[in-house]
């Protein structure tokens, strides 16, 4: 029994070295440190955690890990920025005192120098021969010469001190201006970081609400999104079954939004796409900006700049934007961009954004569901607009 004791102790020490975290080691998710070096290490650890979680299998746990790490990362960046602002403001206060003292010193030296200039003007340096002639003796002559030399050296010293003080004053004043600008920039950065933090916190709570913190529901949403992406890409590529339905005018009702869940959709909305020769374009570049809207997307950009009417009337609710969206960053980690916008209006009517030829279509994907849509081929510009998740007669 005694012979096994050393082996047992060695095994325990080995396990401890493997599983016990070193004292003082910093990990993302710990309490956010306050020291500058520790904050930098914490931020680096959070970035590592995000990269590691993104490389894992797509699970709800991995998605939540990414969001939690992002929240910790931005929280640390906020603390770091606040610390930088505090230090810079202290530096500015110190520099203000230094500049004030230098300004006073420079003023004092200027007064002394001006007094010396006036005195020198009144005195003027006499000709040495006149000094010699007016002196009772050589001793007095040399004394007067030395005095004039000392006065001249003193004047030169004052001038040198003034020059040095002026250079120092200018340098410190410029340093103060630079630090004040850094404070202003960091305050803007802090506001943006605080907005980002609020967005990340909202993203996490939204993800938990959408998935109900349920892995099966999360996987179902992923599969649904994958199926819709495949179907949309096929439709834009001309693989849908379509029937021409005649000419339509701008603003004409061309379909109705399916209420509730439908093929590859878990809720009421239309997926609106603008395309040119099979390539999607940003719908916001064509839709007019004068429209009321509500953001239900988690913060996707809503920036219309065009002249087209909207396909839905009333207040536009944006469920998902164009390009890299919140849903892609936090749900659909397997593809990089959204090729249209998901919206809903006050009613179920869908309107043509411009005049053109109407086509009614559908696409049946690998999952067997029938995705209904309408397409309008526009005369101006050769563009197509697609309206998905709709019903038509």
Q: Which domains does the chain have, with CATH numbers?
A: 16-200 (1.10.287), 218-391 (no CATH)
Distance CA(264)–CA(370), nearest Å, equals 9
Is the CA virtual torsion 88, 92, 93, 95 positive or negative?
Answer: positive
Per-residue confidence at 63, pLDDT binned at 50, 70, 90? confident
Contact 360/386 with Cβ under 8 angstroms? no
Least trusted range by pLDDT, from 119-128, 350-359, 382-391: 119-128
Residue 126 has φ and ψ, to the nearest 5°, of -75, 160
List the structure tokens of 274. Answer: 């603008």
Contact 304/289 with Cβ under 8 angstroms? yes
Sorted by sequence, the CB contacts under 8 Å of residue 348 that are 6+ apart come out as: 256, 257, 259
Could you give the residue ranges of the DSSP H alpha helices within the chain? Answer: 5-19, 36-54, 60-123, 128-134, 138-211, 215-236, 326-330
Q: With both helix axes pointing from N to C terminus, report the angle between 215-236 and 60-123 in degrees, rounded to the nearest 10.
A: 80
First-to-final CA distance of the chain: 87
pLDDT in tens, 1-51: 445 544 444 444 444 444 444 546 788 988 888 888 898 999 999 989 888
Mean per-residue pLDDT, 135-160? 60
The predicted model scores a pTM of 0.65
Per-residue confidence at 53, pLDDT binned at 50, 70, 90? confident
Distance CA(198)–CA(71), nearest Å, equals 9
């Amino acid at each position: 029994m005694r012979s096994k004791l050393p082996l047992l102790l060695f095994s325990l020490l080995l396990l401890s070295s493997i599983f016990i975290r070193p004292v003082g080691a910093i990990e993302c998710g710990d309490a956010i440190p306050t020291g500058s070096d520790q904050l930098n290490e914490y931020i680096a650890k959070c970035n590592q955690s995000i990269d590691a979680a993104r490389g894992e299998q797509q699970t709800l746990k991995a998605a939540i890990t990414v969001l939690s790490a992002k929240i910790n990362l931005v929280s640390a960046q906020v603390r770091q920025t606040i610390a930088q602002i505090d230090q810079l403001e202290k530096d500015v206060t110190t520099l203000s005192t230094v500049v004030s003292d230098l300004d006073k010193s420079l003023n004092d030296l200027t007064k002394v120098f001006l007094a010396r200039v006036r005195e020198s003007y009144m005195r003027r340096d006499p000709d040495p021969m006149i000094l010699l002639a007016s002196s009772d003796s050589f001793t007095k002559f040399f004394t007067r010469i030395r005095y004039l030399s000392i006065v001249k050296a003193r004047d030169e010293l004052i001038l040198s001190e003034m020059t040095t003080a002026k250079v120092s004053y200018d340098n410190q004043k410029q340093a103060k201006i630079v630090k004040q600008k850094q404070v202003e920039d960091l305050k803007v950065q802090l506001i943006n970081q605080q907005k980002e933090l609020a967005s990340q916190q909202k993203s996490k709570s939204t993800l938990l609400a959408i998935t109900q913190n349920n892995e099966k529901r999360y996987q179902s949403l992923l599969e649904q999104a994958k199926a819709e992406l495949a179907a949309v890409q096929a439709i834009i590529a001309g693989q849908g079954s379509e029937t021409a339905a005649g000419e339509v005018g701008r603003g004409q009702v061309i379909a109705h939004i399916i209420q509730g869940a439908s093929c590859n959709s878990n809720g009421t909305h239309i997926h609106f796409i603008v395309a040119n020769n099979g390539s999607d374009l940003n719908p916001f570049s064509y839709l007019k900006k004068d429209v009321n809207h509500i953001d239900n997307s988690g913060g996707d950009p809503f920036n219309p700049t065009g002249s087209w009417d909207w396909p839905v009337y009333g207040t536009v609710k944006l469920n998902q934007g164009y390009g890299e969206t919140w849903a892609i960053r936090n749900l659909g980690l397997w593809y990089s961009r959204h090729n249209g916008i998901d919206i809903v209006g006050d009613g179920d009517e869908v309107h043509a954004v411009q005049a053109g030829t109407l086509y009614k279509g559908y696409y049946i994907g690998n999952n067997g569901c029938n995705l209904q849509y309408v397409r309008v081929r526009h005369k101006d510009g050769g563009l197509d607009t697609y309206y998905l998740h709709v019903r038509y007669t």
